[in-house]
Amino acid sequence: MTARTASPAAEEITDADATDGRVTLPWKVVIVGLTLAGVLVAMNQIFFWNPGGLSLLRNAYLYYVLAAFLPIVFLVFPAARRQRGRPLPLYDIALAAVALVVCVFFGYNGENIVNLGWDYASPALGTVASFVLWALVLDALRRTAGLVVTIIALAFSLYPLVADVIPIGFLRGIPFDLRTAAQVHAMGADSIMGLPLQTAGSLLIGFLVFGVALQQTGGGRFFYDLAQSVFGRFRGGSAKVSVISSGFMGMMSGSAVSNVLTTGPMTIPAMKRSGFPGRYAAGVEATAATGGTITPPIMGAAAFLMVSFVGVPYAEVALAAAIPALLYFLGIFIQVDAFSAKTGLRGMRRDLLPRVGRVLFDGWPYLTALIGLIVLMVVSRNETQAPYFVIAFLLVVECTKFVLAGDVKRLPGMLFDFVYASGRTIAEIIGIIAGVGLIVGGLSMTGVSLSLARELVALVDGNLILILIAGAVTSFVLGMGMTVSAVYVFLAIVMAPALTELGINPIAAHLFVIYWATVSYITPPVALASFAAANIARTPPMATSLTAMRLGSVKYIIPFAFVLNPALVAQDSSVAEILYTAGFATAGVFFLGCAFEGWMTGVGRRLPMISRVLLVVSGLATLAPELLSSTLGLACSVLIMSVTRFYNAGGALDQPAEPVPAPAVHPEPGAQRP
């Protein structure tokens, strides 16, 4: 992406995987070895193998996880963008070696750290190692998440040094000298070793490997073909395929930008050939790709962090996120359908599309894997072990395919690529999460985190609407410069407790933060997902972002809806309340989608401007938490729909676009996060 069409942040996402010249085969072998060691350590901790009766304390285990994956960050991610694709420099090799040695040192002394209180009274070697780990984690964060979030993490990590002289009363806390601050950051239980890394070590590693396994074994191709076979023949079929397949791909990767770069080169040209304007096609792809980060059963990393902050099983988080995610994709789908009807676009020819039965028959392992994962999480209630069973199933099926095809020689290469891709993916997330832990540590060790929520509630005088607006704006602004995980961790300490103090359901409060942190992917001025899609479509990035904003408009509305009505996240409500609330919400999203696009689906007529405005108001009323307002909103919407049948702004275009063949290319199963 050139400087004329995107910001530097957006430019960075286009060449994130250009590491072939950097990571040569010998270094890939090193990365595979470190990955195997890290995953085996994680499995030992999760399955309680404890060979020879050797068990690891939690802090020792987390240090060994860092020892496996932190060096990979320095091997894979260059220190500067201009070094992408160049040979691995000696200083990055040295940093990787130092990271390995330091983390192993801390892991070996895990018991001493706990029993002898090294976080406050460490020997000289431990103090030196603390400073080194602090610096390494910050550099790893810079390489994986960017300079902005690193500066923020650095500021918070240094905050304890000046906590007693801050002029603002509620920001004044317990001060620390530099040496003690370094020791607490490196060896304390609330900073680098805090909740984010604890969650990554217990939950996230398994789910990340599962996502890679699903992609590497062909899951991306299966979900794209499935979407084609089901939706390709309907009007605007190419865009509907993009919505569904991008949702599935994002669900596997948890990364909006990675999803755009994986599926966009296939779906965007297909949409343009079908008659969609380039800006609209790019907007559809960016908006649908962003939805993957909030779609269960595999969501973005922030959803896993919720488990520790809220204290509920991941299955409950995934269940709570299900209805809002469906409403989000429904909003996009309705607008795509309305646009297709309004402009006379047809679907793709049935004879050129894959058959549903054949796709399901060929893709049974992927459906079995997803269903099996859900069953294991819900029935066994052991989400830490569940992904490993499903990973084993997928690998056994894939190996069997190679054997039956008589292609055993390619099997080692497939497994090697799978482990390498897993290591790179895990290392990126570990690099981000370890660095984000410094934010938590700076607030926790000073004691300020305990007072921020209370002061925030007092500042808005207990007004729920004001604090929701403040939370939305803060999440969005931080999301422009920080990863979703970093935004979530910060606001899970500051904003979410304030919302719960005002009576908001904890899961709804935390999901509210995640939703608003992800809108920055499609909202100017940053809009990384929109900019990436615009680069593929060769359209103006800002105009594409505005289109994506309209298509993803439900994402700006739904968080307020489920905060005010927890039935939408299956909380604090009976089954009957959840069902009728979801029904009203579905109707509300339907009418909002029609209003935003200017076409009344169901009666096949254009909407005059006055009808669009009234339909937005009645659609919002249908989404409102009170039963009376929802009923009145639904009645008004139906009335507007009926009137539109006879008093409208016209029908569809007279000349429908010709159907186009289905694209022959498929998503690359091994595409990784940027």
Beta-bridge partner residues of 600: 605
pLDDT digits (tens, 9 = 90+) for 193-231: 998 899 899 888 999 999 899 888 988 888 888 888 988
pLDDT band per the 50, 70, 90 thresholds, residue 106: very high
- Would you say residue 655 has pLDDT above 70? no
- Look at residue 599 and give its three-state secondary structure: strand
Query: 250 or 373: whose pLDDT is higher?
Result: 373
Specify whether the CB–CB gap between 560 and 516 falls below 8 A. no
Interval 601-618 mean pLDDT: 91
**8-state DSSP, 519:** G
Neighbours of 439 (CB within 10 A): 26
pLDDT band per the 50, 70, 90 thresholds, residue 508: very high
pLDDT digits (tens, 9 = 90+) for 26-35: 999 999 999 9
Residue type, 516: W
Quick one: CA torsion of 34, 485, 171, 563, rounded to 10 degrees? -150
Specify whether the CB–CB gap between 141 and 483 falls below 8 A. no
The predicted structure's pLDDT at residue 170: 73
- Would you say residue 64 has pLDDT above 50? yes
**Which range, of 397-401, 504-508, 576-580, 642-646, averages the lowest pLDDT?**
642-646
Residues 264-291 as b/e (b if ≥16 CB within 10 A, e otherwise) read bbbbbbbbbbbbbebbbbbbbbbbbbbb
Structure token pair of residue 427: 């290392």
DSSP letter string over 536-605?
HHT--HHHHHHHHHHHTTHHHHHHHHHHH-GGGGT-SS-HHHHHHHHHHHHHHHHHHHHHHHTEETTTTE
pLDDT band per the 50, 70, 90 thresholds, residue 584: very high
Query: 137 or 664: whose pLDDT is higher?
Result: 137
- Would you say residue 489 has pLDDT above 60? yes
The predicted structure's pLDDT at residue 99: 97
Interval 115-127 mean pLDDT: 93
Query: 521 or 635: whose pLDDT is higher?
Result: 635
**Which range, of 83-87, 278-282, 404-408, 543-547, averages the lowest pLDDT?**
83-87
Interval 324-348 mean pLDDT: 90
Neighbours of 654 (CB within 10 A): 6
Residues 353-391 as b/e (b if ≥16 CB within 10 A, e otherwise) read bbeeeebeeebebbeebbebbbebbbeeeebbebbbbbb
424 φ, ψ to 5°?
A: -65, -45
Helix axes 411-446, 25-47, angle to 10 degrees: 60
Q: Identify which of 101-105, 260-264, 402-406, 445-449 has the greatest average pLDDT.
A: 101-105
- Would you say residue 396 has pLDDT above 90? yes
Residue 412 burial by Cβ neighbours in a 10 Å radius (0-12, 13-18, 19+)? exposed
Specify whether the CB–CB gap between 382 and 47 falls below 8 A. no
Beta-bridge partner residues of 606: 599
Beta-bridge partner residues of 168: none
- Would you say residue 411 has pLDDT above 70? yes
- Look at residue 598 and give its three-state secondary structure: coil
Q: List alpha helices for 146-203, DSSP H.
A: 147-158, 178-187, 195-199
What's the per-residue H, E or C state across 130-147? Answer: HHHHHHHHHHHHHHHHCH
- Look at residue 606 and give its three-state secondary structure: strand
Average pLDDT, the chain: 86
Q: Is the peptide bond before 297 cis (omega within 30 degrees of 0)?
A: yes
The predicted structure's pLDDT at residue 9: 36
Reference 425, options 204, 217, 196, 136; nearest CA is: 204
- Would you say residue 69 has pLDDT above 80? yes
Specify whether the CB–CB gap between 117 and 105 falls below 8 A. no
pLDDT band per the 50, 70, 90 thresholds, residue 254: low
Residues 6 or more apart in contact with residue 635 via CB below 8 angstroms = none
Reference 606, options 615, 617, 594; nearest CA is: 594
The predicted structure's pLDDT at residue 650: 64
Neighbours of 160 (CB within 10 A): 27
The predicted structure's pLDDT at residue 295: 86
- Look at residue 605 and give its three-state secondary structure: strand
Share of the chain above pLDDT 90, in %: 48
The predicted structure's pLDDT at residue 562: 92
Residues 6 or more apart in contact with residue 125 via CB below 8 angstroms = 105
Question: Can you give the residue ranges of every domain in the chain?
Answer: 575-646
Query: 558 or 299: whose pLDDT is higher?
Result: 558
Share of the chain above pLDDT 70, in %: 92
Residues 6 or more apart in contact with residue 522 via CB below 8 angstroms = 286, 287, 290, 529, 530, 545, 548, 549, 552, 555
Q: How many helices (H) and strands (E) does the chain have?
A: 30, 2
- Look at residue 17 and give its three-state secondary structure: coil
Specify whether the CB–CB gap between 365 and 587 falls below 8 A. no
The predicted structure's pLDDT at residue 665: 42
- Would you say residue 232 has pLDDT above 50? yes
- Would you say residue 458 has pLDDT above 90? no
The predicted structure's pLDDT at residue 315: 87
Interval 272-294 mean pLDDT: 89
- Would you say residue 591 has pLDDT above 70? yes
The predicted structure's pLDDT at residue 589: 95
pTM value is 0.85
- Would you say residue 337 has pLDDT above 80? yes
Interval 401-423 mean pLDDT: 92
Residue type, 363: G
Interval 519-525 mean pLDDT: 84
Interval 111-117 mean pLDDT: 93
Residues 6 or more apart in contact with residue 547 via CB below 8 angstroms = 279, 280, 282, 283
- Would you say residue 673 has pLDDT above 60? no
